[in-house]
Structure 1
């Protein structure tokens, strides 16, 4: 009987150390995310609002273009300013305010996934059950990034498909046209990027109002402080912001008439996306390990 008593703890310890444990953490974080009623509302209504803004833009442009003469495809000699007047169908799928709304939604949901557990006290129970804080946060990051990637892909794909169908009589684009797939991919990846930034800020601030304000400030307000081109270093800081990088990635290469003195290249845009995502995930994982609950 003594041998059986000793054997049982050994079997339990082995089960805890098994490779399937991280799978259990992923399942737990998945349940936590969808146990909140607000998750369904935000992730359901938010993308519809984003798509609706883009569709409204496409409908307005289609109505306007139907009642005006079509502009020539190339500028006449001595009129280099005319291409700036040409209609860009890709812009209707990626209207700035719509995707700024998606950034706020994704960042806020990511932040809520972290500070929500701290404000409710659930984080104490979580860490008591699983002392490996880094593993818990890594699972949370993985679940959030996956959910937001799916959300961003559906939103970007639907926005592009519906708007270009509306504009099919006005040079609407297909996914195979230059710049189209890149714009859809960048918009899809914008959602997980902003969610990870929200998680990092939530882990640092751990306060609901403060974190949401910080999400809006970092993702939307901070880039506006570095828009000037008088000093190159100011503009380069602005170019390193996710919003600026996204704008560069969704530009139509056939209608790129930017007059920026220090523009963001496509390669630089992807680097910004990757760097922000990796740093935000690392901060979220590291902070919970070094700070007490």
Structure 2
């Protein structure tokens, strides 16, 4: 008879281990997306922030609608000639609220894991820290971009609808209108990623949020634009960049700058903050 070769399966030794394949970047994106939306605070924070921002813009347009006839013929003519309806599309108060909310949510997205200790678990599961933080930055930036687009678009449509009753509203095709909407929408992800960078550096919720307020709001408000050196410093901040892009009509100041320069400030802050967020975890222990 011919002997049949029967394969022998050796039992797994006690010292053997299963080598898990490294996580793909799209898996990290899916994980961070689920992590962000698994928190109830995410939805509520976005909802309340959106209502506050839109309320400031629509409230300003409503005041102009309500007291329209009290402006007098000259005041009404100047309102239309100076394109002040674009100023109601996204107001300075609304930009302040947007900066605060976006920066705080960005900081909490990083600091929350440090506070709970989950960051150790995350780094143990994904030793590639840079990839993990890159996924976190990308998810937060996408969510904040969608959030910014929603509140900026809704604010423009509602405010101009209110003013159109007085024949003072402007369409999105009006020169400068689309730029205001886009600049206001992108202000959210720029500030959110900045908040993430501060959170990665400071690792304390309260300290990171206070740092965001000082950096994004206090500094540009106290730096004068009447002198060349301080004006250049002010122009490097996201708030001043937004003011340059959202200014209706002719932008006049002692040291004017271009819209292209303001867009560049947006880009440099977003990229710089993202790089800091990704690289700082490689230099420090969790």
Structure ID, larger Rg: 2
Q: Shift of residue 219 of structure 1?
A: 0.6
Cα deviation digits, residues 93-151 of structure 1 (max 9, x gap): 11101111011100000000101100110000000000000000000001000000000
Cα deviation digits, residues 146-196 of structure 1 (max 9, x gap): 000000000000000000011113421111110000100000100000000
Corresponding residue for 1:135? Answer: 131
Report if aligned partners of 2:80, 2:168 keep a CA contact under 8 Å in 1: no
Structure 2 residue 85 is matched with structure 1 residue 89: yes
Corresponding residue for 1:56? Answer: 59
Q: Shift of residue 215 of structure 1?
A: 0.7
Structure 2 residue 204 is matched with structure 1 residue 204: no
Report if aligned partners of 2:225, 2:255 keep a CA contact under 8 Å in 1: no
Structure 2 residue 71 is matched with structure 1 residue 68: yes
- C-alpha separation between the residues in 2 aligned to 1:83 and 1:208? 43
Report if aligned partners of 1:238, 1:244 keep a CA contact under 8 Å in 2: yes
Structure 2 residue 171 is matched with structure 1 residue 174: yes
Normalising by structure 2, we get a TM-score of 0.90
Corresponding residue for 1:256? Answer: 250
Of 265, 285, 290, the residue aligned with 2:283 is: 290
Aligned-residue Cα RMSD (Å) equals 2.3
Alignment: residue pair count: 275
Corresponding residue for 2:45? Answer: 42
Report if aligned partners of 1:71, 1:86 keep a CA contact under 8 Å in 2: no
Of 118, 123, 138, the residue aligned with 1:122 is: 118
Aligned to 1:54, the other structure's residue is in SS state helix
Q: Shift of residue 228 of structure 1?
A: 3.8
Q: Shift of residue 85 of structure 1?
A: 8.8
Which residues of structure 1 form unaligned runs of 5+? 75-81
Aligned to 2:285, the other structure's residue is in SS state coil
Corresponding residue for 2:188? Answer: 191
Normalising by structure 1, we get a TM-score of 0.88
Q: Write out the 4+ residue segments of structure 1 that deviate beyond 6 Å after TM superposition.
A: 82-85
Which residues of structure 2 form unaligned runs of 5+? 1-8
